[in-house]
Chains A and B, each alone.
Chain A
Amino acid sequence: MQHATSARSGSLFDFLKEELKPKAPFLTPFNLISIPVILGGLVLVVIRFWKGIGAVTNLNQSYPWGLWIGFDVMTGVAFAGGAYIITFTVYVLHAEKYHSIVRATVLNGFLSYLFYAGALTLDLGRPWHIINPIIGNKFGYNSILFLVAWHFMLYMISEFIEFSPVAAEWLGMEKMRKFLTKMTLGVVIFGVTLSSLHQSGLGALFLFSKPKLHPLWYTEFLPVLFLISSIFAGISMIIFEGGISHKVFASRVDPDGHENYENIVFGLAKGAAIAMYVYLFVKFVIFIHGQHWDYIPTKWGALFLVEVIVFTLIPCALFTQAYRERRLGMVRIAAVMTLIGIILNRLNISMIAFNWNSPVSYVPAVGEIWITLMVVFTEIWVFRWVVLRMPVLSEH
């Protein structure tokens, strides 16, 4: 820190004051919407801890997990999968072409874990015991959730280390940056291993739900499906988020980056399409093997087809076509559709088709949606704060 402040000549206080000042126009539509949402959300959080989870959610005895798990954790973690895919591609496969998007993707991944998985503490009834599975007070070794919790934590640390050279560079700590950069390959390997385990682990959480989850979604291959879908979910998120970043933060992007950028997007589109073909193939085999034709003419069948055909097969075809014809707009549409498909899939498994045969139902409360928006907006604020200051979108 000392090094940093002296490098910028001034006291620590001045440095902080300078860095906390907004570096972009303040009265933007995003700010006007997000600020009230975040402030209102904080009030809801207070109510939640004061009166209990029931005061702000519609969760009930048949639906112990709702939007906060189904969207924030299940979907958020899949969306954050881009970080392990890109670090794998760049550091393990040495596909240098993608180097320029590593930093933004890792930052996004790290912040997603921090905020979405962090939102989990709001959902825990007794969060003051969250430390129990970590300090080894009581280990539930054979619990999938125990494993997932540990992997989350370790992965957040590795993503932090992966990103840290950028912060070191920003603070002008050159030696530190070199040291941290040397650790990259090791941390990436560790991170990819952890990611494949916890992405599939989220699916494994529902292996217990055989009597509760609709047969169109339940399969013993849920972990495999979650893992494969996290690949194209992560890639689609990179495309989606990159499209926005490159407009909003245009001044922070290297001129080289712009040129290279289209090539990267088409490469990503191809990768997503391949992962989706594999996913659809596995889904198809499971469906045929399960002989669930009878369910297709029901409303569950319709929901299933919307998810698998409209929001997986069609974007997969679009990715393929867009890659062949090099059509940037089409890639973006496919990415958005894929993201919707992932949201549908994760919500179907954790909320909608869960307890499908129970008379009780669950619809998220306004409070749950509000707090979810608060989490998303806060993440964007922090992302923006970092991007406007650190060399995220450009090389050192």
Chain B
Amino acid sequence: MDRRKFLSLAGITAASAALTPSEAKASLNLEKQTDNPEFVGILVDTTKCIGCRQCEVACAEAHDLPVPTPATDGALEKLRTTSTTQWTVVNKFETDQGDVFVKKQCMHCGQPACAAACPTNAMDKTKEGPVIWHGDRCMGCRYCMVACPFEIPKFEYNNPNPKIQKCIMCYDRLQEGKKPACVEACPKDALIFGTKKELMDVARERIYHEPDKYQHHIYGQYEAGGTDWMYLSAVPFDQIGFRTDLGTLTYPDYTKEFLFSVPLVFLGFPPLLYGLSELTKRAQDGREE
């Protein structure tokens, strides 16, 4: 497939993802819509992953979580999801192109649902890109869990002082100038760390050079308004555990209209109600006379 064809295809995917009129309207506003290209993120090339789970080990070690033993625990046999003690898990999917391994963790959305939901700003999209959790703010309402389309935040139900647990893209390590632990641990370069812009370039280039190998879709480019973690795949994304029905609207867009109407109601209702009350009072006085 030549470059032009690919580009037009990419355009169609993007456009067809915008289904409802309000979504289409929102996607015209691309500047605000898409993610900040300077946010850092990680590109996962699932065609390179061999399922060794060294990323899981490195993640657990970096964050004082129980360290898994990939050689013996046989965890790939079952479909797993992240948990309060596993910020990332690798799953195996049997597809017509053989086994595909997919790492799962927080997607570090460009405009995250969790942060838009959080009443205390405990879920926080940092200016660098990682989405982190502040224990000193969180009141444990779990609205972030209700909101997150990827079901990522996990809550410690059996702890009287419970925390929300999820991948923070090694925010502390980034501050020290290091890369996230999983990226450093990956022996196959299946994980690449960089700004969203750089990662998009790498991803596009890979698809361009091997158009027959890759799906012509970068998962995370637009999903849920764009995420800072992105995925490349050789098989359709719905075959390897991804939701392909999330739409391209950012999460704050879902509630924008409601939030916009709040100050209007606050300003408009009281005088309206007062006027109404005067009117009915006069009407009643009239009747009584």
Question: Could you give, for residues 62-85 of chain A, a 1 whenever the CB lies within 8 Å of some chain B CB and a 0 otherwise?
Answer: 101100000000000000000000
Inter-chain contact A142/B259, CB cutoff 8 Å: yes
Q: Does A94 contact B (CB under 8 A)?
A: yes
Q: Does A137 contact B (CB under 8 A)?
A: yes
Give chain A nearest CB distance to B153 CB in angstroms: 8
A-B interface contact total, Cβ < 8 Å: 165
The 8 Å CB contact of B139, one of A54, A127, A142, A211, is A127
Q: Does A138 contact B (CB under 8 A)?
A: yes
Inter-chain contact A125/B149, CB cutoff 8 Å: no
The 8 Å CB contact of B258, one of A91, A130, A204, A209, is A204
Inter-chain contact B280/A92, CB cutoff 8 Å: yes
Inter-chain contact A126/B284, CB cutoff 8 Å: no
Q: Does A292 contact B (CB under 8 A)?
A: no
Name which of B43-51, B159-167, B184-192 contacts chain A: B159-167
Q: Does B63 contact A (CB under 8 A)?
A: no
Closest to A127 in B: B139
Assembly CA distance A138 to B262 (angstroms): 20
Inter-chain contact B162/A145, CB cutoff 8 Å: no
Give chain A nearest CB distance to B46 CB in angstroms: 22
Are A133 and B151 CB-contacts (below 8 A) given A193-B273, A210-B254?
no
Inter-chain contact B120/A133, CB cutoff 8 Å: yes
Q: Does A205 contact B (CB under 8 A)?
A: yes
Those 8 A-B pairs whose CB atoms lie nearest each other, nearest first = A125-B140, A54-B157, A64-B142, A146-B119, A126-B140, A64-B145, A129-B139, A208-B147
Inter-chain contact B262/A197, CB cutoff 8 Å: yes
Inter-chain contact B121/A207, CB cutoff 8 Å: no
Are A125 and B162 CB-contacts (below 8 A) given A62-B151, A205-B143?
yes
Q: Does B236 contact A (CB under 8 A)?
A: no
Assembly CA distance A64 to B159 (angstroms): 15
Residues of B within 8 A of A133 (CB): 119-120, 139
Q: What is A's interface to B at a CB cutoff of 8 Å?
A: 49-55, 57, 59-62, 64-65, 88, 91-94, 96, 123-127, 129-130, 132-133, 137-140, 142-147, 149, 185, 189-190, 192-193, 196-197, 200-201, 204-205, 207-212, 220, 223
Assembly CA distance A149 to B141 (angstroms): 11
Closest to B119 in A: A146
Assembly CA distance A123 to B273 (angstroms): 36
Inter-chain contact B273/A51, CB cutoff 8 Å: no
Query: Which range holds the interface residue count of chain B?
Result: 35 or more
Assembly CA distance A214 to B269 (angstroms): 33
Closest to B243 in A: A211
Assembly CA distance A208 to B274 (angstroms): 35
Closest to A62 in B: B151
Inter-chain contact A138/B122, CB cutoff 8 Å: yes
Residues of A within 8 A of B81 (CB): 61
Closest to A201 in B: B258
Are A94 and B270 CB-contacts (below 8 A) given A125-B139, A132-B120, A209-B146?
no
- Give me 17 other A-B pairs in contact (C-beta within 8 A), A201-B258, A211-B246 excluded: A52-B157, A52-B160, A55-B158, A64-B155, A92-B273, A124-B139, A125-B155, A133-B120, A140-B118, A145-B141, A189-B270, A190-B270, A204-B258, A208-B255, A209-B147, A212-B149, A220-B254
| 9 chain-A/chain-B pairs, Cβ below 8 angstroms | A52-B158, A65-B146, A123-B141, A129-B139, A138-B134, A138-B137, A140-B119, A143-B116, A189-B270
Closest to A91 in B: B277
Inter-chain contact A208/B117, CB cutoff 8 Å: yes
Residues of B within 8 A of A50 (CB): 160
Assembly CA distance A61 to B160 (angstroms): 16
Assembly CA distance A159 to B286 (angstroms): 31
The 8 Å CB contact of B137, one of A88, A132, A142, is A132
Q: What is B's interface to A at a CB cutoff of 8 Å?
A: 22, 81, 83, 113, 116-122, 134-143, 145-147, 149, 151, 154-162, 243, 245-247, 251-252, 254-255, 258-259, 262, 265-266, 269-270, 273-274, 276-277, 280-281, 283-284
Give chain A nearest CB distance to B209 CB in angstroms: 33
Assembly CA distance A229 to B266 (angstroms): 21
Assembly CA distance A253 to B199 (angstroms): 74
Residues of A within 8 A of B269 (CB): 189, 192-193, 196
Q: Report whether over half of chain A's contact residues are helix, strand or loop; otherwise say mixed.
A: helix
Inter-chain contact B265/A196, CB cutoff 8 Å: yes
Assembly CA distance A93 to B272 (angstroms): 12
Closest to B252 in A: A142
Residues of A within 8 A of B160 (CB): 49-52
Give chain A nearest CB distance to B241 CB in angstroms: 13
Assembly CA distance A137 to B266 (angstroms): 24
Give chain A nearest CB distance to B199 CB in angstroms: 24
Inter-chain contact A94/B280, CB cutoff 8 Å: yes
Closest to A204 in B: B258
Assembly CA distance A140 to B134 (angstroms): 13
Give chain A nearest CB distance to B146 CB in angstroms: 6
Residues of A within 8 A of B120 (CB): 129, 132-133, 137-138, 140, 146
Inter-chain contact A189/B143, CB cutoff 8 Å: no
Inter-chain contact A143/B273, CB cutoff 8 Å: no
Give chain B nearest CB distance to A4 CB in angstroms: 32
Inter-chain contact B280/A149, CB cutoff 8 Å: no
Residues of B within 8 A of A96 (CB): 284
Assembly CA distance A220 to B255 (angstroms): 9
Residues of B within 8 A of A212 (CB): 146, 149
Assembly CA distance A105 to B224 (angstroms): 44
Residues of B within 8 A of A60 (CB): 157
Inter-chain contact A189/B273, CB cutoff 8 Å: yes
Closest to B20 in A: A220
Residues of B within 8 A of A205 (CB): 143, 146
